[in-house]
Amino acid sequence: GYRVDDKNEQNIPMCILCHGFCPKVCNTTKVMSIQDSEKLLGCSTIDGNLEIQLVGGNDIDFELTKNLGAIREVTGYIKIWRSYALFTLHFFRDLELIGGNQLVHKKFSLFVADNTDLQEIFPEQQMNKMVIRKGEISFHGNRKLCVSKILSFVKQMNITSN
């Protein structure tokens, strides 16, 4: 594939051939529908924050994996709230870094709240490679998410939670 390089002397966007992985940077986004998630197809970095508030849709897990699965880094925070259609966060299959350059409530880089059917967070093999550079995490009001899964995540990440 190719990536766009606009940091040349003429200030003209140029296509540069990628060798192996080809990064794609996207801006802060709020995902409230599958259609919103489609805008992030192929994005490897979110320059800013990613907010997800999904109340319904068909084949949610499949669609989110397809559209958000390539995201490796979010420079700000991830906020997932009132997403009643979510059962798992496994769709973030390549997520490695949450930067925390911006924080929810000036404190949290990962904020997961009021997702009534959420039962799974990240697979263990993914947690092994994930880093949260700055900020804390908050899991609140996810009534089907077992506390032991949250504690395992916190321990694996070596961070604090509330």
More confident residue, 156 or 91: 91
What per-residue confidence (pLDDT) applies to 8?
67
What per-residue confidence (pLDDT) applies to 25?
93
- The string of pLDDT tens digits covering residues 66-118 is 999 999 999 999 999 999 999 999 999 999 999 999 999 999 999 999 999 99
More confident residue, 27 or 12: 27
Torsion from C-alpha of 95, 76, 135, 84, nearest 10 degrees = -70
What domains are defined for the chain? Answer: 24-157 (3.80.20.20)
pLDDT, mean over the chain: 91
More confident residue, 153 or 56: 153
The closest of 86, 51, 79, 96 to 65, measured between CA atoms, is: 86
Alpha-helical regions (H) of the chain: 34-38, 60-68, 124-127, 147-157
Q: Has residue 162 got a pLDDT over 60?
A: no
C-alpha–C-alpha distance, residues 27 and 129, integer Å: 23
DSSP letter, residue 161: B
